[in-house]
Structure 1
Amino acid sequence: MLMKASSQSLTEQLAARFSERIRNRLLAPGARLPSVRQCAEQHGVSPSTVVAAYDQLLAQGLVEARKNRGFFVREATVPAAEEAPQQVPASPQEWNAAHWIVARRGPAPVNATSLIRGMFHRISNKPQPGMGVFPSDWLETSFMPAAVRKVTGTRVLHDFSLQYGEPLGDAGLRRALANKLTGLDVPASPEQIITTVGATHALDIVSRTLLRAGDPVMVEEPGWAVEFARLNALGMHLLPVPRRADGPDLEVMAKYCEVHKPKLYVSVSVFHNPTSYCLSPGSAHRLLQLANQHDFHIVEDDTYSHIAPPHATRLSSLDGLRRTIYVGGFAKILAPNWRIGFLAAPPALLEQLLDTKLLATLTTPALLEKALALCIEQGQLRRHCERIRTRLDLARARSVKLALAAGCTFAAEPAGLFGWVDTGVDTDALSQRMLDEGYLLAPGALFHAERKPSTLMRINFTTAQDAAFWKKYGEIVKKL
């Protein structure tokens, strides 16, 4: 709450609160600030105090006033040629050849870093339903420290500290990963696997190898905000493909292929983020036919494989790693700070992908890779994942019950780690009100290549079991 007894005036306190959120990316570029009346009621101050605070933010260049619309967080500056991008039509029925010459280019006004920053700088000790990871206490194990001790307690520590590791990654880990992929029906030899500094690094290697600035890339929408921001930072031409329950909208993809000739499609086949949809076999087969017909590659991000059914439909399995590149990692399920990921690729692309890795990081840390290999080979990772899945099933059931009781509906069948929830109110506004109460949300606008108002939000089932959160949520929704 704002304090009248503070050395700062109420105006200064209010302006400082918004300024901090904007600078920390907890208020996204393009986000609308509460109206003067709403803000005054929310913080228990006069409208003139709010007007004065907003004037300070204007003077700092953090917000802009739009006539008859209110105050908005200022967008990042873009070149004049990109200030008014053409809009991509919302449905296939609106599209024809004349409309498909240009899709959206330039930086997307997506606040991808807000949730990442929330991971590193917790806003309170309360459970955070907007987080994209398992709680740290869910990941605590005794076998990981034991594996590290075993690796570092031998001559290996000395030997591997004084030389670079293998370019492709530790051979033992690559063998273990090849065996693990065999269990998923993904045919990859150890020589087809490259270890990386997390799954995001693997995605970056693929992008930097196969693409050049301006190249068209198809992405799922809604989709992972970090991937949108990463591709935009590389100067790629994003082509959003609506994601449905059975897979991507293939009619939209076909139109993109005819007009833009995209080089890459980025997909999460199993437990898609944020909807938790899983790809159907029929959609997967048609998608691969499209890739062959129009000569584009598919990078399949299987980040959630550890909590997914082993025989869920994966493009890399059906395709046999011909047009697909498989990406995985262990930060979500095991050790976030170990930063171990990997990719499995067609033999024809391996040397190019390896060159990109070497230019960026030379090699990856062999000691932690050896420790991870032990955890996989001894079955400890498998048993850990089984415990997580069981616990997640219980958490999901509790969270769904609370969400429904709070008046939410699910836009997608609850599954996996995330729920895609319809609140019935603007979740950008909701997220700011909940932030005042110490809760970080993930509003639906974060998951679109081009920010637009949404009544949807993503919840993390492991951190949405708190009845106090849903009580506060209900109170605030009634006021919006």
Structure 2
Amino acid sequence: MDLGIDRQALVPVVQQIVSAVVQWIRKSGASPGTRLPSIRQLALDNLLSQSSVIEAFERMVAQGLLVSKQGAGFRVAQPPVSLESHWYEGAELGWGAYVDGPLGELKLGCGWLPDAWRESDDICYAIREISRTDTAGLFDYSTPLGLPVLREQLFKRLTQMKVDTHLDCILTTHGASHAQDLLIRTLLKAGDTVVVETPGYANLYRQLERHGVKLLEVPRVVGGPDIPVLETLLQSHRPKCLFINCLYHNPTGTSLCRMVAERLLQLACSEDFLIVEEDVYGDLQHASCTRLSALPHEGRVIYISSFSKTLSSALRVGYLSASAAIVTQMAALKTLTGIGTSRFAEAVVATLLANGTYRKWVQRLRKRLNTQMAATLQVLEDEEWEVFAVPAGGMFVWARPVVGDRSRLQACARQLGVLLSPGALFSPKGEHSDWLRINVAYAADQRALALFRAMGPARSTSTILKTTKM
């Protein structure tokens, strides 16, 4: 079995082994019980250490792809009778698809980090500390505004970011989506009008539509919302809010420039609307940046963020900063609809913030993402893909192949086991677009690289696929 290991690639050898074996199982149609070559033979044939092969096989056992028995080697696992579906933030078939893949499809366009990038030791330490020192965190409800010790840490963070706020203006939530939902139900009613960016965050569109709110679309350009288009919309409509993603925009990866930010705040005051600034990727910043909430805004900006993208999606800890009057209304709604947020999860995050662990983790994450961003942009340039803008950081690139053959792209992605997040998912009306959201944290995988090559100019998909077969 030729694994096609590339020792110059950024992808770790162990992950390359896993990907190659997964491709072999998929393409060969190996039935459950099929025995794989011995670890010794596989290592010998591919000039690998046996320890690397063992680690790769053990990962696949943990994922339920292989089984092992003493003296019987490793075999293809029997798929479970009922596969557990996994949430995927954007997939080919539509927003919010649940993926049933036992063979580990590559989620090239997803909005979070790969499991292999996570660092669980620090979270486990914080959990043990909470269990040992704060038993109330295991059993009690949290307070209406959120755990005080966490809100104190958030106040310090926001102050360092030059966001003018107070403790009674900070509310914790079950992630950023929960914060948006509470805001929509507090500030808006059916028939109200708001402005949203396009492309933009699909879940926000769905939330607003579910509450009967009318959406006005303003194109996202390199420096932020298209100001001339926005000004034209404001001449004909009286929107209540503008929803915006300032830093490392989802999905384009662009960031707000100072000139656009200042004009937005001028318009918010003169046209009397609020700006909801989502900043869930803001902790990935490594250079100077512009946040609306950090500029003088006369109470016009509501700030939303969370730790789901950087720390843990499972903890579901988010927060917002708004006027005390808005926060009071939202806290009442939060208590009415869910009693409160998780005191335990908030205590874990507060511990990681207080002891400096989160700050150090984000520093390492920024460095790794920056390296991978540069590598991904280089590959896309080599394969002559079009890039909407070169991001200053974050995890997203908005790109499309020069060869605009959607059916060919989808067919190639399916054969390689790559799940896409096409542009239509980031449009309020689901309008077709050739653009794709690419998460650079997944882009070094051999399957992603094969897809980029296959969609390069004058390339044959079948030829590319043959070169990736073992």
What TM-score range do you get, normalising by the shorter chain?
Answer: 0.7 to 0.9
Partner amino acid for 2:211? L
- The whole-number CA distance in structure 2 between the counterparts of 1:274 and 1:26 is 14
- The whole-number CA distance in structure 1 between the counterparts of 2:389 and 2:407 is 20
Aligned to 1:152: 131
Aligned to 1:226: 203
Q: After TM superposition, list the pairs within 5 Å mapping 1:388-407 onto structure 2.
A: 388-407=365-384
- Indicate yes or no: 2:113 matched with 1:113: no
Aligned to 1:62: none
CA distance 1:433–1:213, change in 2 (3 Å):
farther
CA distance 1:3–1:405, change in 2 (3 Å):
closer
Among 361, 371, 395, the alignment partner of 1:417 is: 395
CA distance 1:207–1:321, change in 2 (3 Å):
farther
CA distance 1:363–1:432, change in 2 (3 Å):
farther
Partner amino acid for 1:396? M
Give the deviation of 1:26 after TM superposition: 4.9
- The whole-number CA distance in structure 1 between the counterparts of 2:274 and 2:122 is 38
CA contact (8 A) 1:299 1:324 kept: yes
Please list the CA deviations of residues 444-463 of structure 1 after superposition, one character each: whole Å capped at 9, or x if unmatched. Answer: 12111122232211111110
- The whole-number CA distance in structure 1 between the counterparts of 2:27 and 2:373 is 36
Please list the CA deviations of residues 15-71 of structure 1 after superposition, one character each: whole Å capped at 9, or x if unmatched. Answer: xxxxx9xxx99554xxxxxxxxxxxxxxxxxxxxxxxxxxxxxxxxxxxxxxxxxxx
CA contact (8 A) 1:223 1:274 kept: yes
CA contact (8 A) 2:421 2:436 kept: yes
Give the deviation of 1:471 after TM superposition: 2.4
SS at match of 2:144: coil
- The whole-number CA distance in structure 1 between the counterparts of 2:298 and 2:330 is 14
- Indicate yes or no: 2:315 matched with 1:338: yes
- Indicate yes or no: 2:348 matched with 1:358: no
Partner amino acid for 2:395? L
Among 346, 349, 362, the alignment partner of 2:326 is: 349
- The whole-number CA distance in structure 2 between the counterparts of 1:476 and 1:305 is 32
Among 207, 222, 230, the alignment partner of 1:245 is: 222
- Indicate yes or no: 2:173 matched with 1:190: no
- The whole-number CA distance in structure 2 between the counterparts of 1:150 and 1:404 is 47
CA contact (8 A) 2:150 2:349 kept: yes
Aligned to 1:204: 181
Q: Which shifted more, 461-470 or 361-370? A: 461-470
Aligned to 1:441: 420
Partner amino acid for 1:280? C
- Indicate yes or no: 2:423 matched with 1:458: no
Please list the CA deviations of residues 375-413 of structure 1 after superposition, one character each: whole Å capped at 9, or x if unmatched. Answer: 101111000000001111111122122222222121111
Among 422, 430, 436, the alignment partner of 2:409 is: 430
SS at match of 2:221: coil
Q: Which shifted more, 422-431 or 142-151? A: 422-431
Partner amino acid for 2:215? L
Aligned to 1:54: none
- The whole-number CA distance in structure 1 between the counterparts of 2:233 and 2:335 is 33
TM score, norm. by length of structure 2: 0.75
Aligned to 1:13: none
TM score, norm. by length of structure 1: 0.73
Q: Which shifted more, 136-145 or 187-196? A: 136-145
Aligned CA-pair RMSD: 2.6
CA distance 1:285–1:210, change in 2 (3 Å):
same
Give the deviation of 1:320 after TM superposition: 5.0
Among 347, 359, 379, the alignment partner of 1:382 is: 359
CA contact (8 A) 2:131 2:138 kept: no
CA contact (8 A) 2:316 2:345 kept: no
CA contact (8 A) 1:417 1:461 kept: yes
Identity of aligned residues (%): 33
Structure 1 unpaired stretches of 5+: 7-19, 29-110
CA contact (8 A) 2:388 2:398 kept: yes
CA distance 1:299–1:426, change in 2 (3 Å):
farther
CA contact (8 A) 2:197 2:217 kept: yes
